Amino acid sequence: MDIRTIGGTKRRIFISFDSERDRPVRDYFYNQGRRDDATWIVKSWSEPFVEDSTGMWISQTTGRIKQAEVVVVLLGPTAFRCPGVLKEVTIAQMLGKRIYQIIPHGGGSPNVIPNAGRVLRWEWDNIKRAIAASPARWNTARQVRL
């Protein structure tokens, strides 16, 4: 079900983050998505990575990412080397999902994941515009130069 906002339909997103260290960043981003003028709604988010022989974590995570239109990687200090985040990015790439890496409000980490989508600083209008853009315009958001 689509959710309407002042600017149109909210995009369903999956949030990827270091689930052991960056829950406050996730909570902040999630709550921002609840604002009336937000252009996204969080469909699902990272769960702690568990290596298992059945592939249950990968299967469940793939299902969650499939339900999203956009994957947002929140670049806390350790996200760039977090095994779960790196696997989620790989899954998103295999599914052809649009990925944005966002340096959270308050600075976050300048350590980005190579070839894992555009990098954006937390600037409310820029984030809203990037996520709301039609697929043809996804590259119009201002990318961070590091």
pLDDT tens by residue, 52-109: 888 899 999 999 999 999 999 999 888 999 999 999 999 999 999 999 999 987 665 5
Instruction: Please write the tens of the pLDDT for every residue from 104-123.
Output: 876 655 789 998 999 998 88
Please state, in angstroms and rounded to a whole number, the distance separating the CA atoms of residues 41 and 44.
9
Beta strands at 70-74 and 11-16: parallel, antiparallel or unpaired: parallel
Please state, in angstroms and rounded to a whole number, the distance separating the CA atoms of residues 30 and 13.
10
Res 137: pLDDT: 52
Res 93: pLDDT: 96
Res 2: pLDDT: 46
Residue 35 corresponds to which tokens in the numbers above?
Answer: 């604002």
What global pTM score does this model have? 0.83
Judging by beta carbons within 10 Å of its beta carbon (0-12, 13-18, 19+), is residue 50 exposed, middle or buried?
exposed
Percent of the chain past pLDDT 70, that is, above it, reads: 83
